[in-house]
Amino acid sequence: MSIVQLNISLADDDEDDRLFFKEVIDDVKMDTALSLFNDGQELMRYLLKPDLILPNLIFLDLNMPIKNGMQCLREIRGNKKFKDVIIAIYSTSSSENDIEDTFVEGANIYINKPNSFKKLTEVVEKVLQINWQYQTSNLNKENFLFRI
Amino acid sequence: MNFFVKYDLNILGRVAIAQVLEELALDYRIKSLGEIEIVESLDIDSRTLLADKLAVFGIAIVDDEKTALVQRIKLTIDTLIKDKEGISVKLSVYLSNVLNYSYAYLSNLFSELTHTSIENYVILCKVDYVKELIGTSNLTLTEIAFRLHYSSVAHLSGQFKKTTGLTPSSFQKILKKRKERLE
């Protein structure tokens, strides 16, 4: 399987974090298309559009107004249409319970939001690399669990 | 009722390919490492038909030679990791002998096309296999370490933690809770 372009979505209510993330993605040496959402409800409305080209990878903030990341995660994992979509939780919380709960609910990656541009670049590059390998190799997606 | 299955992707792939080729009445031979030889040459229509039928199983025909070689490197590594016997030579020597290219060439090509190095890919595959064994077998971590030729359980746990950010036991706990949720 070859990926021509990697479709990425990010839902985060913090405008600075969204811009920061966009800058990092623009710098990465991979062909990507990024869609940004201000909260979980916006993301879910987008995902449920008919004929949408599904994202390969969704970055989800946990604490968002209207619809939080955990609710989005449950809705996405409850819908067979999204079974191949990789979900990365992108949160400031480093509570062991939050981390375990999101994995149990079907998240693939848990990222603690880094506080520097350099660190975020490293983290995003690592996530994209691992994701690439899972999309193009004989690796078992059922066991796609990483904490970064 | 719910039940769990485990499967071997290599076997699934072979069976699916054989089924498609037989359906199209092609005289074929499945060589190792994802290479297939067919006696007749295909015109564009038959080739498209073959590609469509394989696509149902998520199998794609690799057209370009570099991508095909990267695929062979990956398959050689996958097979090797799951082989109980292991190899007595270094991986770089082994790959170079099996694939008939210098390791420097293979290594550069791999990094160029997959966004990662052969060494990182090997670690990712080994950890993936450890995850699979933790989830589907009754082997202890010590037995898994021995089977995958780690020098010790500590080495396995260290590499697992460094690669996945989780300890083998927290990974196991998550898998268990996921299964409980499904029941």
Nearest CA in chain B to A143: B131
Q: Taking CB atoms and an 8 Å cutoff, what residues of chain A touch B6? A: none
Which residues, 6 or more positions from B126, have their beta carbon under 8 angstroms from its beta carbon? B81, B148, B159
Check whether B64 has a pLDDT greater than 90.
no
Residue (of A33, A13, A28) closest to A127 by Cα position: A28
* pLDDT top residue among B79 and A13: A13
Residue type, B110: F
Q: Is the CA virtual torsion A140, A141, A143, A146 positive or negative?
A: positive
CB-nearest to B74 from A30, A129, A137 is A137
Model pLDDT for residues B122-162, shown as the tens digit of each residue: 999 999 999 999 998 889 999 999 999 899 999 999 999 99
Q: How far is CA A120 from the centre of its chain?
A: 14
pLDDT of residue B90: 86
Residue (of B50, B69, B156, B83) closest to B118 by Cα position: B69
- Cβ contact B70:B113 at 8 Å: yes
Q: Taking CB atoms and an 8 Å cutoff, what residues of chain A touch B168? A: none
Dmax (CA) for chain B in angstroms is: 56
pLDDT of residue B32: 64
- Average pLDDT along chain A: 91
Residue type, A64: M
Q: Taking CB atoms and an 8 Å cutoff, what residues of chain B touch A31? A: none
Q: Look up the pTM and report it.
A: 0.79
Put simply, the chain B residues between 37 and 76 with a CB less than 8 A from any chain A CB are 58, 60, 67, 74-75
Using only C-alpha atoms, chain B has a radius of gyration, in whole angstroms, of 19
Average pLDDT rounded to a whole number, residues A72-76: 97
Put simply, the chain A residues between 103 and 132 with a CB less than 8 A from any chain B CB are 103-104, 106, 110, 128-130, 132
Check whether A53 has a pLDDT greater than 70.
yes
pLDDT of residue B155: 95
Using only C-alpha atoms, chain A has a radius of gyration, in whole angstroms, of 14
Check if the interface score ipTM surpasses 0.85. no
Model pLDDT for residues B35-55, shown as the tens digit of each residue: 788 877 777 788 888 888 888
